[in-house]
Structure 1
Amino acid sequence: MNALQFLRSLAFNIYMYVFMAGLGIVFFPWAAFSSRGARTACTIYANHIVRMAAIMVGLKSEVRGPVPQGEVMVAAKHQSFLDILIIFAALPRPKFIMKAELMYAPVLGQYAYRLGCVPVNRGKRGKAVAKMLEDVQRGRREPGQLCIYPQGTRVAPGVPAPYKIGTHVLYEQLGQDCVPVATNVGVFWPKRGVMRRPGTCVVEFLEPIQPGLGRREFMKQLEDSIEGASNRLNDEAGFVPPAARTAD
C-alpha cells in the first residue's frame, strides 16, 4: 500500500509541475500585461490542483470559518505548497508577501508581479520590512487580501518556530483587521519528500484581530490563535507529535 501511494504521489507531483508549466505558458501573453489574466490563470491552477490531489492521492481539502472578502491582512500558518493553493482559491483577491528572488524567476515572477505580490529580501531584515511597507502602500489602490506567513517559512506540524515581528509592523502600518489562519496540511503533505498521504486537510479562517493592539499583545494573540487552532486540527487528523513518538 505504501509503495502504491508513493507511486501515486510521484505521479501527482510530476503532473502538478507539468500542468503549472503548460498553463503558465498558455496564459502568459495575457498575464504579462494584465492582472486579470494572471489572476485567472492562478485561480484555475489552484482549484485544479486541489481537485487533483483528491483524485490522484486521496487528499481532500476543506475550508472552515468565514472567508474574508474585504481589504484585510491574512496571517497564515504555512506547512506546505498545498496550503498556499487552498488559501489562494478561497480568497477573492489574494496577494502574498514572498521571497524577493522569486520575482526574478521566469514566468513565475511575472505572474507574481501582476498579482500585486510584495517581494521581501529576508536576508536584510530591517530593509526588508521598510521595503515591504513601501510596496504595500503603493499597492493599496487595488483592494484585496494581503497574505503573510508570520513564521517566515514552512514549518512542519509539531515543530516550534518563532513568530517574526515584521507581522506586527505590517499590521500597525495597514490599520486593518488581521485574520489568522490555521492548518493541518503538513500532516498529509510534508515540508520535504514525495509522499502525499490520503485524508482531509483543513484550512481554517479564525476570528479577526482588530487593529490598534500593541506589539506584545498582538503577537501573543496571533500566535495563540494560530497555534491553538492548528494543534486542534493536527489532533483531528491523528497527528502524533515527535516527542510522543520518541517516548513510545
Structure 2
Amino acid sequence: MDIAKLNHLIWQRVGLRLTAEQIFNLRILCEKYLQHQQDLYHVFIDFKKAFDRVWHAALWATMRQYNINANLIRMIQNLYDKATSAGYLNNNTGDWFRTTVGKLDCINSFKYLGAIIADERSKTEILARIAQTTAALAKLKTIWNDRNMALSSKIRLMRSLVRSIFLYACEFWTVRADTERRIQAMEIRCLRKLLSITYRDHISNEEVPNRTWQAIGPHEDLLTTVKRRKLKWYGHVTRSPGLAKTIL
C-alpha cells in the first residue's frame, strides 16, 4: 500500500477524530437521508455489551469444556437454536432470518458518544438535555439557597455544572419553535434558582431576565449561545478538509 492511501485510511479512522465531528457526521447523514426519504444503515461494534454478540457454537463448546451439566446446556441451547428475527418499521415486518449470533433488538433511539440519535431528529436529544440540566439544578439546591455564598461563585458553578450539561453537542441540533420555548422556560428556572426568586415573589418570567441583567450584568442567553456555537462549528467545517465537509 502506498503512503498516500495509508495516510487517507489513517485520517478516516474514527478513533483519531474529535467526538464532536463524529456526532456531527452521524446527525447530518441521518438528516439528509430523512429529507430524501431513503434508508440509512449504520454498523456499530459495542464492546461494552459484547455478550449480546456471542458466537453460539463457541458458547456451547466452552460450556462443555467447563463440565457444565449437559441438560442445562441443552435447555439454554433450545432458547437460541432456530431463533429467527425480522425488522419492524412503520407497521411493516421485513423478511425473517435466522439469528446465529446474539439477539436482535429493535429500538427507536440510541446514545452515540453521549448524544441521542432518534427518529424525531434533535427533539429527543434536546428534551433529554433539558431533563438532565433540570436534575443537575435540583441536586445543587443547597448551593442556590446558601445566602453566604457570593453570587459570582454561584454563577461560575451554574456555568460549569449546569449550563455545560445542556450545551453538550448543541452545535448539531435542529432547534424548532416548540423546543425554543422549552429551552427558554428551562433557562428561566435556572435564573430563578440563581437569584433565589420564587414564584411567591410574584415576579413574572419576563421580568426575570431584567433582574438577572441588573444583578450580574450583560450575559448571553442559552438560545444565543446555541446559535453562536452552531455558526462557529459551520465555519470550522467549511474551512477544514475531511469527511465532515464532504458530508455537509
Higher relative contact order (CA 8 A, sep 6+): 1
Q: Which has the higher helix share?
A: 2
Q: What's the TM-score, normalizing by structure 2?
A: 0.28
Structure ID, larger Rg: 2
Q: What's the TM-score, normalizing by structure 1?
A: 0.28
